Structure 1
Amino acid sequence: MANYVKKIALAGDWGTGKTSLVRRFVYNLFEDKYIQTIGAKVSKKTVKLGSKEGTHIVNLIIWDVLGQKDYRMIHANAFRGLDGAIFVCDLTRMETLQGIHDYWYPQIVKVSGKVPFMIFGNKSDLKEQHKFGLSEIIGVGATIGIPADFCILTSAKTGENVEKSFLKIARACLSTPERQVYDEEKHTGIYLAPEVYTAKAVLDAIIMDFIEVYGKEIEGMEIVEKCARDAGINMSVPDKVALRKFVDLIKNVELEKGISQRDVEENYARRLMMIAYIE
């Protein structure tokens, strides 16, 4: 019985229902309340897939990626080493379909190349509010090389097409070469040009700076999630007060991890300097 590990990402604009789709597939749960994703949530689901060669065990490492387009470093990190990706659009918001073509597809291809892709048109249960349908999704998919049968209407609320569509991308991922799921390549010297010192760009840089220092990508993202919530960070409009509190919290994490006092203080000063440049 072959055993595989495959990394897939859910990519799409904020509020398209990515987190709810993962919860429905992994835990068979749905939460109406909007859950703000900080950085990227990582979940695991093990599935069995049959084929002529026998049964395959596929461990899906599912990255639910922050939908704010300003956080490019987080996106690049999350998209590194993908075996497949699901683009999610909201059937009640036409701009979320265009965002797949204009932003999310180019971002993934730039980092991971052309891997198996699907498009989920989510919120199929809200029929009276739909602004577009399957034909429009297929049309956009055709422009970026996604076959029509990999364009699906889904509902995280009712579960319509969710499980079978995740299984479809899992099967497609079996065609990609087996490789390390976690890319250990390190990128040093995070730098922000002066023209991109917005609060969002600074938060993006601070998160990736911490992940690089911490060294464990998935565990680090979980810590980011907790510290950002404790700091009261609004990912849409982060403010300096919350950013400073966030930097204080991750400083404490680094001290608890056993990083030297000198290195921690240097990291702290560097991150405060980033915040100081926000206009």
Structure 2
Amino acid sequence: MASGGGGGAGYGDSNQKIDYVFKVVLIGDSAVGKSQILARFARNEFSLDSKATIGVEFQTRTLVIEHKSVKAQIWDTAGQERYRAVTSAYYRGAVGAMLVYDITKRQTFDHIPRWLEELRNHADKNIVIILIGNKTDLENQRAVPTEDAKEFAQKEGLFFLETSALEATNVETAFLTVLTEIFNIVNKKNLVADENQGNGNPASLAGKKILIPGPAQVIPAKSNMCCRSS
């Protein structure tokens, strides 16, 4: 598994050699906590008076996965409709996505299928996606049952976790789930590439955008994290 966890290790980027850079996008309605999730992961911070994101911004954090240095480049965009024009550039090169809704606002969950459709229309078809129900610290105001989200995630083939950026619950796990899965996919493709070099048959890699040079490794199959909610 990955290191650089909740104690602060891995925050900020040093001069270490970077083996991989993975772009991950945060999407979902405005005010669901996307920027707070990013701040918690990238800097282990949370601000009660967070301002709405204007346009697009990104932050990075470097971690170690399977003894490799991975720089996560996390992009955050405003959820408001007037910023939707950034779509194509925002998704370009993304290998992971976090679909975020607010468990206390049913409408934000009801909009998830629309966000997912947009993501699948603009991003690489192999993108790793996790559905995130944020603000579990407001359990007494819950409007979206965990089972509803779990069922949707299973139907769409998504990972799923509920988080609290305020309490730092599952934020680290959510990012590591996505980044580790991307890492596994990349390494499996490297393995396939090595096998095909002797056959002159690179066709199996056509259209893949997340091939990054590196040594081939056999990585364990995807863990069953899609349905964890605590």
Same-fold call, TM cutoff 0.5: yes
Q: Displacement, 1:98? A: 1.6
Give CA-to-partner distance per residue, 1:197-218, whole Å, 9 cap, x none.
xxxxxxxxxxxxxxxxxxxxxx
Q: Name the residue aligned to 2:33.
A: 17
Alignment of 1:178 with 2:211, yes or no, is yes
Q: CA RMSD in A?
A: 1.8
AA aligned opposite 1:132: V
Which structure 1 residue ranges, 4+ long, deviate > 4 Å from structure 2?
A: none
Give the distance between the partners of 1:3 and 1:152, measured in 2 at CA. Answer: 27
Q: Name the residue aligned to 2:148.
A: 136
Give the distance between the partners of 1:36 and 1:90, measured in 2 at CA. Answer: 15
Alignment of 1:118 with 2:130, yes or no, is yes
Q: Name the residue aligned to 2:65.
A: 49
User: How many residues of Structure 1 are paired with residues of Structure 2 in the alignment?
Assistant: 172
State the identity %. 30
User: Of the candidates 161, 166, 169, which is equivalent to residue 160 of structure 1?
Assistant: 169
User: Of the candidates 92, 99, 103, which is equivalent to residue 91 of structure 1?
Assistant: 103
AA aligned opposite 1:121: G
Unpaired runs of 5+ residues, structure 2, are: 1-16, 187-209, 214-230
Q: Displacement, 1:48? A: 0.5
What SS does the corresponding residue of 1:165 show, helix, strand or coil? helix
AA aligned opposite 1:112: A
Residues 112-261 of structure 1: matches in 2 within 5 Å? 112-114=123-125, 115-146=127-158, 150-174=159-183, 175-176=185-186, 177-178=210-211
- C-alpha distance 70-2 of structure 1, shift in aligned 2 (>3 A): closer
AA aligned opposite 1:97: F
Unpaired runs of 5+ residues, structure 1, are: 181-279
Choose 1 or 2 for highest CA Rg.
1
Give the distance between the partners of 1:18 and 1:60, measured in 2 at CA. Answer: 16
What SS does the corresponding residue of 1:92 show, helix, strand or coil? coil
Contact 1:13 1:99 in 2 (8 A): yes
Contact 2:87 2:122 in 1 (8 A): no
User: Of the candidates 82, 85, 89, which is equivalent to residue 77 of structure 1?
Assistant: 89
Q: Name the residue aligned to 1:3.
A: 19
